[in-house]
Amino acid sequence: MQIKNPPLIFQVVGYKNSGKTTLMERLISYLSSKELQVGTLKHHGHGGEPASVKETDSSKHLQAGSSISAVQGERELHITVKDTTSFELDELLQFYTVLPLDILLIEGYKKADYPKIVILKDEKDMALLELSNIIAVGCWNEVLAENSDYYTFPLQKTEENLPALIACMVGRQLNEN
């Protein structure tokens, strides 16, 4: 296996229903169209367990007591880990180090210290600007970030702002390395 540089890591953070997943989808699509290998990790912060496929052979392995179960198809690999309560974000990210990724996008994990894009839906969300390592702010109401020191963009015009947003993200990482 060839040793590869670790991927650039960025976060997209905001409160529930603020548009995080929509922005993630657009970033993934744009970056992938530039032939970059993109990985993602989403924090399921709503309680409970993420949706999974039941009554499959790999789910039966878990029910029988396996700690981890994987199923590889022709073009996809699905891995399920039974008890993740002891995993910290940095430990989860180690899974990604063996994959050929250029960029890893993390949805959520607000308190992590990776470069992040903050989504502001309304004035109640302004406390998010106190988070660490903010590189950009997407707003549904441009007035919210008028006096911001960060690159800001209207979420209604995400598509046309993607090149500048990506330049901001990658430029920041290159300057730090």
If pLDDT is split at 50, 70 and 90, which confidence band does 72 have?
A: confident
Quote the pLDDT of residue 55. 66
Task: DSSP letter for 56, please.
Answer: S
Give the E-state strand segments of the chain in sequence order: 8-13, 38-42, 68-72, 77-81, 103-107, 116-120, 134-139, 151-154
What is the domain count for the chain?
1
Amino acid 1: pLDDT: 46
- Express each pLDDT in 23-54 by its tens digit: 999 999 999 999 999 999 988 665 555 555 56
Length of the chain: 177
Residue 161 lies inside a defined structural domain of this protein = yes
Q: Is residue 55 part of a domain?
A: no
Class of residue 146 by CB neighbours under 10 A (exposed 0-12, middle 13-18, buried 19+)? exposed
- Which CATH number characterizes residue 137's domain? 3.40.50.300
What is the reported pTM? 0.85
Average pLDDT, rounded, for the chain: 85
**Cβ-contact 134, 151 below 8 angstroms:** no
Which stretch of DSSP H or E encloses residue 175? helix 158-176
Mean pLDDT value of segment 97-117: 93
* Spatial contact of 1 and 137, defined as CB atoms under 8 Å apart: no
For residue 120, tell me if it sits in a domain: yes
**d(C-alpha 119, C-alpha 156), whole Å:** 12
Q: Which of 35, 40, 43 is nearest to 104 (CA)?
A: 40
Tell me the mean pLDDT in the region 62-71: 80
Q: How confident is the model at residue 58 (pLDDT cuts 50, 70, 90)?
A: confident
* Residue 161 structural domain: 8-50+84-176
Domain membership of residue 96 (yes or no) is yes
Question: What sign results for the dihedral spanned by CA atoms 130, 131, 137, 141?
Answer: negative
> Which of the pair, 65 or 110, is modelled with greater confidence?
110
Supply the pLDDT for residue 69: 80
Flag whether 65 is in a domain. Answer: no
In a domain, 35, yes or no: yes
- At 20, which helix (H) or strand (E)? helix 20-33
pLDDT value of residue 168: 85
What's the helix, strand, coil split of the chain in %, to 5?
A: 35, 25, 40
Residue 63 included in any domain: no
Task: Please tell me the predicted confidence (pLDDT) of residue 122.
Answer: 92
DSSP structure class, residue 5: P
- For residue 67, give Cα distances in angstroms to 64, 74, 83, 98: 9, 24, 7, 20
Please report whether residue 64 resides in a domain: no
